[in-house]
Amino acid sequence: MATAPRFWRENPSRYNLVGVKCNSCGRHFFPPRTICPVCHRKSVGMMERVKLKGTGKIFSMTEVHEGLEELSMQRPYFLAMVELDEGVKVTAQVIDCEACDLEIGMPVRATMRKLSEEGPSGVIHYGYKFVPVNLKAKAEGPAH
Amino acid sequence: MKVGIVSYGAHIPRYRITPEEIGKVWGVDGKAMSKSLMINCKSVPGPDEDTITISVEAARNMMKRCDVSPKDIGALYVGSESHPYAVKPTGTIVAEAIEAAPHLMVADYEFACKAGTAAIQTCMGLVGSGMVKYGVAIGADTSQGAPGDALEFSASAGGGAFLIGSEKIIAIIDKTYSYTTDTPDFWRREGQMYPRHGGRFTGEPAYFKHVINGAKGLLDRTTTSAKDYTYATFHQPNGKFPTRVAKQLGFNDAQIKTGLLAPIIGNTYSGAVPLGLAAILDEAKAGDRIFAVAYGSGAGSDAFALTVTDAIESYQRSKAPTVKELNTNLKFLDYATYAKFRGKIMLGGE
């Protein structure tokens, strides 16, 4: 069964990191939720949708060799828990880098890439991934 | 009313492959091919990149450099010959990704390699007539060349985005002129994976005829000549064609150097002139004049004359990467990895 409607509902969060802010305690949450897990009833009607800046740093990371089928073209790939500037932790792929480039605490920014596709004739899903910021400029020599 | 570029952004994937590496597989002298095409390497999109992700990245870079609200964008057009969907507009996803949706006009354009500049012309008309405050024109491609075909040595990926408006203009578009004929030099039929071309027929009766007539038509209509321009950029299916056409039109190497990117990224199709223009705007100063001619097979050319304004001095170029910066952090691929990334390997079960 096609998952297009389910993904479509989440597009604002997947494309633009839209989360929520609890205006009772000031905490941010991602993905959006209707009740603050800290303030409970006090947060009713106080949860405001906000776009997160999309910048943060790597909190933890791993290199995946046996992972998702849809990422088989990218093996091995890097997954990280990214702590965004607003304090929210997001798990996502880190791209456009090599294993030796990555370290905990490294600044990253969100970008939009293809996440998966429902076969060659199905819907293509897009969403956030992270790229390192200020990666030292380098150009490896051509492969021969 | 003056209409022009209010902001711009670019994106080029980080992967590269050399003609030598491609030639090694197909029994072609890659070094000689590199020399004859004037292409040292070409960009390759990663497995998670396509025309939509390149357009989004370029458009977001464009928005970072200005303080225009995305809600003031009344139109968005994406020109490409590699839209990921045959039916489902690229522009809808780009508009959502830059938060310009839903109150705007959107459509995808296709005119081989000049669909992005056709989008600029449409936005000029909409802004000039007062129908919209700002329009976004994007040219982006992840072009394909059949394995072993001459096109495989040049077909690459990248794109540029332009915010067209009538306020806070960094480069006024003084005039545009197009030259169009029915010329079957390059085509791709519906449902076909790779394009076909007329070999040498893509040269004189196609590229050169249309670029020269487009350029001369604009020079005549602006009563200018090559020497009046600080920079010039031409469609670049390789490095050789734009260099030759520039010389024929009276432009010198210094004028075309900045916007000539084919030697380091290959032929980005609809992204070619938008990226050349972006590279020029990365370094242009107030008062500089820019001449640009895009070419699309089929065939036609779009020529533009621009003048950089004083607003460029306070324009926040550093808020997004320059074309030069997009050519760092490169990773060179071997042919096997390139073939995997470009879907040229048929996997079991497909």
Domain ranges of chain A: 17-51, 53-144
Region B4-28: mean pLDDT is 97
Higher pLDDT, A73 or A89: A89
Q: DSSP letter string over B129-160?
A: TTS-SEEEEEEEEE----TTSGGGGTB-EEEE
pLDDT of the residue at A3: 76
Q: Is there a contact between B328 and A143 if contact means CB atoms under 8 Å apart?
A: no
pLDDT tens for A16-44 read 999 999 999 999 999 999 999 999 999 99
- As a whole number of angstroms, the distance between CA B346 and CA B83 comes to 21
- As a whole number of angstroms, the distance between CA A111 and CA A122 comes to 23
- What percent of chain B stands above pLDDT 70? 99
Question: What's the token pair of residue B18?
Answer: 């050399």
Residue A138 has pLDDT above 70, yes or no: no
pLDDT tens for B97-138 read 999 999 999 999 999 999 999 999 999 999 999 999 999 999
Q: pLDDT band for A5, please (50, 70, 90 cuts).
A: confident
Residue A143 has pLDDT above 50, yes or no: no
- As a whole number of angstroms, the distance between CA B83 and CA B89 comes to 8
Higher pLDDT, A69 or A58: A58
Structural contact between residues B163 and B136, judged by C-beta atoms closer than 8 angstroms = yes
B325 touches chain A (CB under 8 A): yes
Taking phi over 0 as left and psi of -120 to 50 as alpha, with beta for the rest, B207 belongs to alpha
Higher pLDDT, B197 or B7: B7
End-to-end CA distance of chain B: 55
B345 touches chain A (CB under 8 A): no
A45 touches chain B (CB under 8 A): no
Residue A140 has pLDDT above 80, yes or no: no
Pick from A15, A73, A97: which is nearest to B47 by CB? Answer: A73
Q: Is there a contact between B84 and A124 if contact means CB atoms under 8 Å apart?
A: yes
- As a whole number of angstroms, the distance between CA B10 and CA B273 comes to 11
Average model confidence (pLDDT) across chain A: 91
pLDDT of the residue at A2: 60
- Candidates B14, B329, B342, B350: best to mutate against A (most CBs of A within 10 A) is B329
pLDDT of the residue at B122: 98
For A69, the 3-state DSSP assignment is: helix
Strand order through the sheet with A47-51: A28-29, A18-22, A47-51
pLDDT of the residue at A69: 86
Interface confidence, given as ipTM, is 0.94
Higher pLDDT, B177 or A73: B177
Compute the nearest-CA separation of A43 from chain B (Å). Answer: 27
| B45 alpha carbon, distance to own chain's centre | 15
- Neighbouring CB atoms inside 10 A of A77's CB total 20
pLDDT tens for B56-96 read 999 999 999 999 999 999 999 999 999 999 999 999 999 99
Which residues of B form the catalytic set? 81, 113, 235
Average model confidence (pLDDT) across chain B: 96
Q: Is there a contact between B18 and A142 if contact means CB atoms under 8 Å apart?
A: yes
B336 touches chain A (CB under 8 A): no
**Number of CB pairs, chain A paired with chain B, less than 8 A apart:** 78
Residue B103 CA: distances (Å) to CA of B61, B95, B222: 21, 10, 36
Residue B24 has pLDDT above 50, yes or no: yes
pLDDT tens for B310-347 read 999 999 999 999 999 999 999 999 999 999 999 888 87
- As a whole number of angstroms, the distance between CA B100 and CA B107 comes to 14
Residue B238 has pLDDT above 90, yes or no: yes
A119 touches chain B (CB under 8 A): no
The DSSP bridge partners found for residue B78 are B108, B138
Region B179-192: mean pLDDT is 93
Compute the nearest-CA separation of B198 from chain A (Å). Answer: 29
- Whether domain A53-144 has CATH 2.40.50: the reply is yes
Q: Is omega for the bond preceding A107 within 30 degrees of 0, making it cis?
A: no
Residue B262 has pLDDT above 60, yes or no: yes
A99 touches chain B (CB under 8 A): no
Q: Are strands B289-296 and B298-308 parallel, antiparallel or unpaired?
A: antiparallel
Q: Locate the chain A residue with the closest alpha carbon to B347.
A: A73
Q: Locate the chain B residue with the closest alpha carbon to A97.
A: B329
Residue B190 CA: distances (Å) to CA of B75, B85, B87, B268, B294: 27, 12, 12, 21, 24
B85 interaction partners in chain A (CB closer than 8 Å): 124
- As a whole number of angstroms, the distance between CA B144 and CA A118 comes to 22
A129 touches chain B (CB under 8 A): yes
pLDDT of the residue at A144: 39
pLDDT of the residue at A134: 76
